[in-house]
Structure 1
Amino acid sequence: MGVDERAKNEPPPGPLLYEVIRNLWPLHRTIVRAVERELTGTGMTAGQHAVMDELHRAGPRTVPQLARLLGLDRQPVQRLVNDATTLGLTETAPNPEHRRSHLIRLTPQGEAAIRSIQEAEETELRRQLSDLTTGDVTTTLHVLRRLGEEFKDLAQNAPPHPTDRRGDPR
């Protein structure tokens, strides 16, 4: 039986997708708590970890670019960057594309810190989740990315909620 035939005989994934969505918020909160526990004694927060992870992955970025990549507002990301800079983990650099919007980059100390943290996290993930296959993780990433695309589109195109008074001309 081919993939298309199997899909025809399967129940629709709607209820399972709701179950995935129901699990995302508590999962996110649990991951943040676990990351915060891992960061105890470093002076870093989970938010700074996320900023540093993005800078490590994608290279120097402006605060607005980081905010978009992280799905956050610019102001909280600016605070996270300021705090990471105070810790000596990030620094500003001139932006050749924009005079007033500096690039944020990791310092050598920040690069070493995030690399060390990521190595420890990956080792722990491999140990704790050794029962998952590469296929399992690839499928999970596919589903999460699709959900992210759909919900981003819904969030951007949704009419304001009736209780949202920001657009009210009164």
Structure 2
Amino acid sequence: MSVDERAKHEPPPGPALYEVIRGLWPLHRTVVRAVERELSGTGMTAGQHAVMDELRRGGPRTVPQLARLLGLDRQPVQRLVNDATALGLTESAPNPEHRRSRLIRLTPKGEATIRSIQETEETELRRRLSDLSSGDITTALRVLRRLAEEFRDLAQDAPPHPTDRGDDPR
């Protein structure tokens, strides 16, 4: 049976897509709780972990850039950065592209900390999810990225949230 013929016999994707979306919120909460359990004793939160992960993956960023990448308002991201800085995990540096908007970067301690945490997490993920194939993971990533893209568009069409202030995009 060809792909086109299979598609004709499959149910419409609407209900299944809704089930995927319905599962995202509890999954997110569960992942945050699991990450915070793993961070117990470090003084870090799941939010700081997310900020440090973005800095490790993409290098120094401004707070507004981090906020956009994380899908959060600037103010909570600034608090996460301030707390990570107080722990000696991040620091601010001059931004050659903008005099007033400083770059946030990992300190050597922050780099070592997030690398160690992520190595432990990757080992645990491989152990617990060894039944998933590379194809399964590729498909999941494609679907999640597509959902994120579509919902970003929907969110942009929505009226602005009262806390959105149009911060400098740099």
The interval holding the TM-score normalised by the smaller chain is over 0.9
CA separation in 2, counterparts of 1:4 and 1:116? 46
**Per the alignment, in what secondary structure is the counterpart of residue 101 of structure 2?**
coil
The one-letter code of the counterpart of 1:13 is P
Provide TM-score, normalisation by structure 1: 0.92
Equivalent-residue separation in structure 1 for 2:84 and 2:52 (angstroms): 8
Secondary structure of 1:40 counterpart: coil
The Cα offsets for residues 102-139 of structure 1, whole Å up to 9 and x where unpaired, read as 00000000000000000000000000000000100110
- Equivalents in 2 of 1:23, 1:71: separation in Å? 19
The root-mean-square deviation of aligned C-alpha atoms, in Å, is: 1.5
Change beyond 3 A, Cα 1:131–1:81: same
> How much does 1:165 deviate?
8.9
Query: What does residue 84 of structure 2 align with?
Result: 84
Bigger RCO (CA 8 Å, 6+ sep): 2
1:149–1:117 Cα change, 3 Å: same
Q: Counterparts of 2:7 and 2:101 in 1: how far apart (Å)? A: 49
- Consecutive unaligned residues of structure 2, counting only runs of 5 or more, are 164-170
| Structure-to-structure mapping, 1:33-112, within 5 angstroms | 33-112=33-112
User: Number of residue pairs matched?
Assistant: 163
Q: What are the within-5 Å matches in structure 2 for residues 140-159 of structure 1?
A: 140-158=140-158
Change (3 A) 1:73 1:159: closer
TM-score (norm 2): 0.92
The alpha carbon displacement at 1:6 in A equals 1.5
Q: Which runs of 4+ in 1 moved over 2 A?
A: none
SS in 1 for 2:6: helix
Alpha-carbon distance between aligned partners in 1 of 2:68 and 2:62, rounded to the nearest angstrom? 10
